[in-house]
Structure formats: C-alpha cells, structure tokens
A and B are shown apart, each in its own frame.
Chain A
Amino acid sequence: MSESTFMGVPRERIPWYPVIDYTKCNFCMECDKFCPHKVFERNEGERKLVVKNKENCVVFCRACAKTCEPDALSFPNKQETTALIKQIRKEEEAK
C-alpha cells in the first residue's frame, strides 16, 4: 500500500491511525471486528491486539473508537493533521 496517497500526499507521511491505551483496553476485539481495512492485528501473548497496518487506516476516520466501550482508542489532533497535509502539499508543489 506504499503507493497510496491522501490528497496527493504519500500516505506514510500522514501520522493518522488509532493508538491503543493498554491500561484501558480489555481486548474485546470490537474495534478489529469493526474496521474493514485490516488496521489491527490479533496477537498471542500479552498485547493481544496491536495497530499493525497503520497506513491502511483511512485519514480522518475515527469510526472504530465508537465501538470501544472503555474508550481506549485515540487519534491525532485533526487540525494539526490538516495543517500538516497542507504544508506537505506546498512543499511538493514548490519542488
């Protein structure tokens, strides 16, 4: 998926994906069941769930957070992300 872009910006340059707060997560797996983009991965061992395919996460989507009852998922600040995308676009144009 490295060729994918969002508004012309290479996806890997946009840090948008869920972060799991393991002090809250109870590994109910609702988020993984919900997300159609295979962002999460189930594991053996202590951290039974990890955010594996960060770049598969749809920029500005926060849908899985709603399925998380203990509120263990967080996302980056949207304004900062928007500003970053605009800035990278400017840099690319200037090249």
Chain B
Amino acid sequence: MSGSEFALLPCNGLDKSLGQITRAAALNACTALPELELLCPMVCSQDPGRYKESAEKKKLIVIDGCGTRCATKTAAALQAGIALKLYVPDVVKSTGSRPEASLEPGPGGLKVAGEISRLIMSHCSEKKSEKATEAGIEDWNRRELDFLEAMVDKFVLKVPKEGYLFNENDCWAFVRGSTALIGISDYLQTRAGDIMYVGHPDPGKEISQFDEAGDFESSKSVLQVISPVSGVVVRINEALKEHPELLNEDPYRRGWIAELRLTQLEEDRELLLESEAYFKNMIDKAQREIAGRH
C-alpha cells in the first residue's frame, strides 16, 4: 500500500465537532500511510505557493467536515485535481453512528473518523487498471454536433439539434441501442462554473428516472445529476476523474457521466423533452435567473 501519489487536505474546522473528526481521520490516515503527504489547510490558503509542487504532481484527497466545504474551496485555490472527496456528514449517514457534539471526538466520532481513514487507505491502495476505452465511445466522443444556440446575458448556451433527450433538470440522455449515455446540459455546466470534481454513480446501481445519478462540484456549489432515464449503471466515464473540466468544455460528448442499461425507456420518454422544447425551457430559465439577480 502506498500513498506517495496522493496528498491529503483536511478542512480547517477546528472549532466544530465534525471538523475535529476530519482532523482525527487525517491523522489516522497519515500515520497508517507515512508516504501520504498532509497539507495544512491554513498554509494552503495563506501561502498556496508552498505546496505548488505537490499540487502539480499529486492527486488530492479532500475531507470536508461541513457544508462550508472549506477544504474543497482551498483545493480550488491550489488548482489541484481532486481524486477523492470525503464529506463527513455523508460518512456519518453511511456508518449510522452519532458523533458527539463535543470538540473532543467520543466513540461515535471516532467511528466516523476510522471509516474515513479506511476509505482513504483503500483509495490509495486501489490498483488503477488502465482500461482501454471502448472504440465505440471514442468515436462517439468525436462526432460532429450541430447546435441550437442562444446568447443569454454574456453566455452562449448550446443544445445539440438532434439525438439527445432532456429532462427539465438540465440533464440529457443519448440512447444507443439498449443503453444510454447521460450527462448535463451546457446551461447546467455554465451555472456551476469551473467544475473540479465529479462524483459518479456506482456501477451496478439501479437508478430510476429522476433519481440522483452522481453529483459534481465547483468552487461555487455542489450540484446533482438527475437521471433522465431509468436503468442500471453499466459504465462510468473514468476520464472525468482526472479531467472534471471536460464537463465544462464538452458537456455533450467527452463530458458524458455514465452509461445506463435502459429498463423502461418508453415510459420515461413521456417526461422527456426533445432538443427544441428543451432549448426553449432552458432559455426561459436562464432569463428568469438573470431577472432574479438584477
């Protein structure tokens, strides 16, 4: 097991009980994996240059204690790629333990910290099998697309003219035989801003229409991918782990998020929009959003 490729950035929440769990988890993991570099969140924000080399060479593991997500925001300032992101409240839910409200973690808090460090260690030891991408996907990624385009405020928003089905939650499905690729629209990526992390749905997971099929995160916000179709996750876009920015750059092709084996496309279609209809819906939303801001 080695941690040398990774650097660990915990949040700075020393004044909060969940922040103290973050701290305990980070110390556990770094003790177990001496090669795992520990970054001090304070130094990162005061003097990001100090960690320049690590930010360039290593992949970051980020632990956020609360919704402030200060570790993720610090990672954005470092311009480092996030390989794994852990959010303490999620781990609290998955372990079912109740962390104490005190600053000194008790048995409940330590259980959560233990689980977080276990997740870090298992991530560091995972053998990254370089799976050859299937030729079909490569061709799909490179297809020419014709777009409907609208200028709203200072943004040009695009929707492919054909082949894509949308839900009103700004996610698309592209049907290929018995499976569909899913992803987010240009509008959603524009709203998110620079995307730093993509959380994929788990392969094998059964998703029904409008369930969450992953999430993604920018320095501004965490947003959900709401699946336009029902199906079983057969594949995820591994490229997004290293290059989450593909979601911004090419949301309708290289930024696809997952592939689902479709289970009830005909029923799902009833609540989906084709390009023209989605295009109108999107412009409407974008304009309303701008009106609300001014």
Q: Which residues of A contact B (CB under 8 A)?
A: 4, 6-7, 28, 30, 33-34, 36, 58-63, 66-69, 71, 78-79, 82, 85-86, 89
* Residues on A with beta carbons closer than 8 Å to the beta carbon of B215: 63, 66
Nearest chain B CB to A20's CB is how many angstroms away? 15
Contact of A66 among B90, B208, B226 (CB under 8 A): B90
State whether A69 and B89 are in contact (beta carbons under 8 Å apart), knowing that A62-B212, A86-B270 are contacts in the complex.
Answer: yes
Interface residues of B, count at CB 8 A: 27
Nearest chain B CB to A1's CB is how many angstroms away? 8
Contact B169 A7, beta carbon cutoff 8 Å: no
Contact B270 A63, beta carbon cutoff 8 Å: no
* Residues on A with beta carbons closer than 8 Å to the beta carbon of B212: 62
Interface set, chain B 197-229, CB cutoff 8 A to A: 208-212, 215, 221-224, 226
* Residues on B with beta carbons closer than 8 Å to the beta carbon of A58: 169
Contact B89 A78, beta carbon cutoff 8 Å: no
* Residues on A with beta carbons closer than 8 Å to the beta carbon of B270: 86, 89
Shortest Cβ distance from A64 into B: residue: B67
* Residues on B with beta carbons closer than 8 Å to the beta carbon of A6: 168
User: In the complex, A33 Cα to B66 Cα: how many Å?
Assistant: 12
State whether A34 and B169 are in contact (beta carbons under 8 Å apart), knowing that A60-B210, A66-B89 are contacts in the complex.
Answer: no
* Residues on A with beta carbons closer than 8 Å to the beta carbon of B66: 28, 30, 69
Nearest chain A CB to B200's CB is how many angstroms away? 16
Contact of B222 among A28, A66, A85 (CB under 8 A): A66
State whether A34 and B221 are in contact (beta carbons under 8 Å apart), knowing that A67-B67, A69-B92 are contacts in the complex.
Answer: yes
Q: Which residues of B contact A (CB under 8 A)?
A: 18, 66-68, 87, 89-90, 92-93, 167-169, 208-212, 215, 221-224, 226, 270-271, 273, 288
Contact A60 B226, beta carbon cutoff 8 Å: yes
* Residues on A with beta carbons closer than 8 Å to the beta carbon of B209: 82
Shortest Cβ distance from B88 into A: residue: A69
* Residues on A with beta carbons closer than 8 Å to the beta carbon of B87: 66
State whether A82 and B222 are in contact (beta carbons under 8 Å apart), knowing that A7-B168, A30-B67, A34-B67 are contacts in the complex.
Answer: no
A66-B215, A66-B222, A79-B208 given; 16 more Cβ-contact pairs under 8 Å: A4-B288, A6-B168, A7-B273, A28-B67, A30-B68, A33-B67, A34-B67, A59-B169, A61-B224, A62-B224, A63-B223, A69-B89, A82-B209, A82-B210, A85-B271, A89-B270
30 contacts between A and B (CB under 8 A): A6-B168, A7-B271, A7-B273, A28-B66, A30-B66, A33-B67, A34-B67, A34-B222, A58-B169, A59-B168, A59-B169, A60-B169, A60-B210, A60-B226, A61-B226, A62-B212, A62-B224, A63-B222, A67-B67, A67-B89, A68-B89, A69-B89, A69-B92, A78-B208, A78-B210, A79-B208, A82-B209, A82-B210, A85-B271, A86-B271
Nearest chain A CB to B133's CB is how many angstroms away? 30
* Residues on B with beta carbons closer than 8 Å to the beta carbon of A33: 67
User: In the complex, A71 Cα to B97 Cα: how many Å?
Assistant: 13
* Residues on A with beta carbons closer than 8 Å to the beta carbon of B167: 60
User: In the complex, A6 Cα to B281 Cα: how many Å?
Assistant: 10
* Residues on B with beta carbons closer than 8 Å to the beta carbon of A86: 270-271
Contact B208 A63, beta carbon cutoff 8 Å: no
Nearest chain A CB to B145's CB is how many angstroms away? 25
State whether A61 and B211 are in contact (beta carbons under 8 Å apart), knowing that A71-B93, A82-B271, A85-B271 are contacts in the complex.
Answer: no
Shortest Cβ distance from B223 into A: residue: A63
